[in-house]
Amino acid sequence: RYAGEAKSGILASTEEYKFVEQLISPSRVPFPPKHDGPSPFGWNPPSEVPLALPHMICRSRMHNVPASEKDVKEYLQQLTGKHLPTQVNEVTMTFRVKGHFDTALKEWLVKKGF
Amino acid sequence: MSFTKKPGGKALDILQNLPRITLANLRPEPGTKKAEKKRGRGQHGGNRSGRGHKGERQRGNRPRLGFEGGQTPFYLAIPKYGYNEGHSRRAQYQPLTLNRLQYLIDLGRIDPTQPIDLTQLVNGRGVTIQPQKRDYGVQLVGEGAGIFAAKVNIEVQMASEEAIAAIERNGGIVTTGFYDPRSLAVLCKPVPFFLSGQPIPKRMLPGEDMVPYYTDAANRGYLADPEKIQKARIALAQKYGYVLPDISKDELFHMLFMRKDPRQIFFGLSPGWVVNMTEKKILKPTDDKLLQYYNS
């Protein structure tokens, strides 16, 4: 309808599309890169050789360390010298311990090689 | 739990062998349900029914909340002051600690070999930004400066001095850039924006109150003079007591020096372009007036 409409065109190009692809978020959680030993943050990769144990604890989806009931109870008893209340949720395979133990438990699990 | 064959384990086995569950078979755990006290009934609930003896208390005629018997009440005696005035219109910057940044890089959620942008942070689920809630971006906070060990080219909206020092100590580059709310929404969620078919808008310049912040070399503002920024880098190195590494001899030198134009939202994409994701094409305008507007 106005004079410019007939003249103005559009340039199509596919060269700069790679910048758009960089902006798209990945749909799966990425695999952590290889570290030799602990990373600067203090995150330890799981040991390469799977240990022969009755339980297999897999890393959680974000590659963090989860925590098994009996062993944890024994370990915490050695650590604190008391029986600690725990609650097991069989359906979701989780359990809770009363008290602040997360760093101690993480180190212990990492030492065990999970 | 020992190594189980199926989820649920013993509890599910028991459930399968018991008779059908109905209301007649269920009972709450003893001790969970405490009987409520019925007012006006029995020795303890009856007589005055917990209302006390005569007066306004028993008759239910007490004065309003805050009344202090005639003394000027607390809520009127204290003078007003605008502590929270305009709180819903204040700019908010989501904090990003160096601890968190290191964690994200270590777990591979953020790639340090590419310039780190707010889009990359949101894609790696490092921060959650709500542009509709007066969030103006991300601020870099110095917590974790001691353990930070990554060479990155990072662009945030605000940064504390310790954070800038920690990043530059490891040979990285920090820049602070302003995004107006519409550009921020586009930056945080680029894919829905591209699917909407609108041309990439040009980024607006900061408002009057933020211009001094973004033109200051001490904040590594994107509008500041590059020579002053270099001097500020040296001064900061002297202040915090580390040797400033020479970036120009670095292998990732080209990536580290990538910076956005003040009117550009995405790396490599100019304002005015329309992105077609289904056909993987970019459409650029050719009209003079449009080009003049988008390049101004």
User: Considering the domain boundaries, does residue B41 fall inside one?
Assistant: no
Q: Check pLDDT > 50 for residue B116.
A: yes
User: Considering the domain boundaries, does residue B248 fall inside one?
Assistant: yes
Pair B289, B270: CB distance under 8 Å: no
Pair B287, A4: CB distance under 8 Å: yes
User: Considering the domain boundaries, does residue B43 fall inside one?
Assistant: no
Give the up-direction half-sphere exposure of residue B217: CA atoms within 13 A in the CB hemisphere.
12
User: Considering the domain boundaries, does residue B82 fall inside one?
Assistant: no
Closest CB from B3, B147, B289 relative to A55: B3
Q: Check pLDDT > 50 for residue A113.
A: yes
Sign of CA dihedral B263, B269, B270, B273: negative
Number of domains chain B contains = 1
Give the up-direction half-sphere exposure of residue B246: CA atoms within 13 A in the CB hemisphere.
2
Q: Check pLDDT > 80 for residue A4.
A: no
Describe the crossing of helices B98-106 and B161-169 by its angle, rounded to 10 degrees: 40
Per-residue pLDDT at B154: 95
Which of the two residues, A3 and B258, has the higher pLDDT score? B258
Q: Check pLDDT > 50 for residue B225.
A: yes
Per-residue pLDDT at B41: 93
CA proximity to B56, closest of B46, B69, B43, B44: B69
Per-residue pLDDT at B18: 85
The pLDDT of B282-291, averaged and rounded, is 92
Per-residue pLDDT at A41: 60
Interface contact A23-B106, CB threshold 8 A: no
The backbone torsions φ and ψ at residue B3, rounded to the nearest 5 degrees and listed phi first, read -60, 110
Q: Check pLDDT > 60 for residue B76.
A: yes
Torsion of CA B128, B165, B142, B179, to 10 degrees: -30
Chosen for mutation from A8, A13, A17 (greatest number of chain B CBs closer than 10 Å) is: A17
The pLDDT of B89-107, averaged and rounded, is 92
Per-residue pLDDT at B5: 56
Per-residue pLDDT at A58: 41
Query: Is this structure's pTM higher than 0.95?
Result: no
With bands split at pLDDT 50, 70 and 90, how would you rate the model's confidence at B1?
Answer: very low
Per-residue pLDDT at A37: 54
Q: Residue A34: helix, strand or coil by DSSP? A: coil
Per-residue pLDDT at B228: 96
Q: Which residue has the tokens 């297999």?
A: A56
Q: Which residue has the tokens 């097991």?
A: A88
Q: Which residue has the tokens 């001691």?
A: B146
Per-residue pLDDT at A114: 53
What would the pLDDT profile of A21-60 be if each residue is shown by its tens digit? 999 988 887 777 776 555 666 555 554 433 333 333 444 4
Q: Residue A67: helix, strand or coil by DSSP? A: coil
Q: Residue A103: helix, strand or coil by DSSP? A: helix
Per-residue pLDDT at B19: 87
Query: Across chain A, which distance is largest between two alpha carbons, in Å?
Result: 88
Pair B124, B110: CB distance under 8 Å: yes
CA proximity to B91, closest of B181, B20, B204, B31: B181
Interface contact B284-A93, CB threshold 8 A: no
Q: Check pLDDT > 50 for residue B36.
A: yes
Residue A24 has what DSSP assignment? S
Tell me how far apart the alpha carbons of residues B78 and B161 are, in angstroms, rounded to a whole number: 38
Lowest mean pLDDT among A32-46, A90-104, B78-92, B149-163: A32-46
With bands split at pLDDT 50, 70 and 90, how would you rate the model's confidence at B10?
Answer: confident
Q: Is A52 on the interface with B (CB under 8 A)?
A: no
Lowest mean pLDDT among A97-106, B3-12, B27-36, B202-211: B3-12
What would the pLDDT profile of B234-278 be if each residue is shown by its tens digit? 999 999 999 999 888 888 888 899 899 999 999 999 999 999 999
Closest CB from B149, B191, B281 relative to A14: B281
Interface contact A20-B282, CB threshold 8 A: yes
B193, two tokens: 């924006």
Q: Check pLDDT > 70 for residue B290.
A: yes
Residue B141, amino acid: V
Q: What angle do CA B143, B144, B146 make, to 5 degrees?
A: 125
Long-range contact pairs involving B284-290 (C-beta distance under 8 Å, separation at least 24): B284/A10, B284/A11, B284/A12, B284/A13, B285/A8, B285/A10, B285/A11, B285/B199, B286/A8, B286/A9, B286/A10, B286/A11, B287/A4, B287/A7, B287/A8, B289/A4, B290/A8
Contact list in B for residue A22 (CB cut-off 8 A) is: 114, 267
Q: Check pLDDT > 60 for residue A15.
A: yes
**Terminal CA-CA length for chain A:** 70
Q: Is A48 on the interface with B (CB under 8 A)?
A: no
What CATH number matches the domain at A17-112, 3.30.780.10, 2.30.30.700, 3.40.50.800, 3.90.105.10?
Answer: 3.30.780.10
User: Parallel, antiparallel, or unpaired: how do β-strands B281-285 and B173-176 relate?
Assistant: unpaired
What would the pLDDT profile of A57-86 be if each residue is shown by its tens digit? 444 433 344 456 666 777 777 777 666 666
Chain A nearest CA to B65, separation (Å)? 40
User: Which residues 67-86 on chain A approach chain B with CB closer than 8 angstroms?
Assistant: 68-69
With bands split at pLDDT 50, 70 and 90, how would you rate the model's confidence at B103?
Answer: confident
Tell whether ipTM is more than 0.95: no
User: Considering the domain boundaries, does residue B151 fall inside one?
Assistant: yes
User: Considering the domain boundaries, does residue B146 fall inside one?
Assistant: yes
Tell me how far apart the alpha carbons of residues A4 and A58 are, in angstroms, rounded to a whole number: 64
User: Considering the domain boundaries, does residue B37 fall inside one?
Assistant: no
Tell me how far apart the alpha carbons of residues B170 and B217 are, in angstroms, rounded to a whole number: 19
User: Considering the domain boundaries, does residue B249 fall inside one?
Assistant: yes
What would the pLDDT profile of B143-175 be if each residue is shown by its tens digit? 989 889 989 999 999 999 999 999 999 999 999
